[in-house]
Amino acid sequence: MLVIPSVDIRRGRCVQLVGGRPETERVYGDPVELAQRWVAEGANYLHLVDLDAAMGTGDNFVKVAEVLANTRIGVEVGGGVRTLERANELLGIGADRVILGTAAVRNPGLVRELVELAGGARTMVALDSRSGKVAVEGWKEQTEKSVLELAREFERMGVGGLLFTSIDVEGSMRGIAAREIRELVNAVKIPVFASGGVGSLDDVRVAREAGAAGLVVGVALYEGRFTLKQAMEVAGDEDR
């Protein structure tokens, strides 16, 4: 299982939020420096999110481009990607794959277009869950669609992977949503990447045992709950 450090950008700075709420923001510094730190510590992949774009309060495209230009490993990029043009731009400046969230739920045709244009391997869909239902618009709006229902739908469209985030525990370090991750892994054949609630090395182990192909880790790394090397050892990611 891949351990994927998260570099979330808000107002040009690397931050972490609890449950996506801006008032919980913790600032950690420059996104480029943090990305390079994780690469230096052995990361094989990075998760880069434009929080302002996701929340509809602006964008950090220039900073995202700077991170991509200064990172020599694969980087998946998400947050406010709502058009084919923006997805294309991100792929053009070095994103390994693009994550569609709100746009995928609101406009499934966009997913089909991106798969056709860039291929399934470069197309990921984010399923952000609150109490089992998918949330959109920077997690501010709740839909009535279930995670499993949408997962199967996007798998049929040819996406190469799914990013499942439990909003209920995101940023809390209280433990991952193991049951939901396991259910999703069992419901589809494509890789499932998990995010939300990681607070200990035991969470890393549980995610691996649940069948996750990757685990996105944010606050726990920034707050020093464990090192990236330790997490990679538990995940079996250190020998890639």
The residues carrying an active-site annotation are 8, 128
Q: Specify the DSSP element, H or E, that contains 88.
A: helix 84-92
Cα(100)–Cα(120) distance, integer angstroms: 12
Rounded CA-CA distance 181/183 in Å is: 5
Return the number of other C-beta atoms located less than 10 Å from residue 150's C-beta.
Answer: 20
Q: What type of residue is 80? A: G
Contact 161/191 with Cβ under 8 angstroms?
A: yes
Does residue 229 sit in helix, strand or coil? helix
Measure the CA–CA gap between 225 and 134, rounded to whole angstroms: 29
Characterize the bridge pairing of strands 141-146 and 133-136.
Answer: antiparallel
- CA gap 134, 129 in Å, rounded: 5
Q: Measuring CA to CA, which residue among 81, 88, 94 is closest to residue 35?
A: 94
Phi, psi of 204 (to 5 degrees): -65, -45
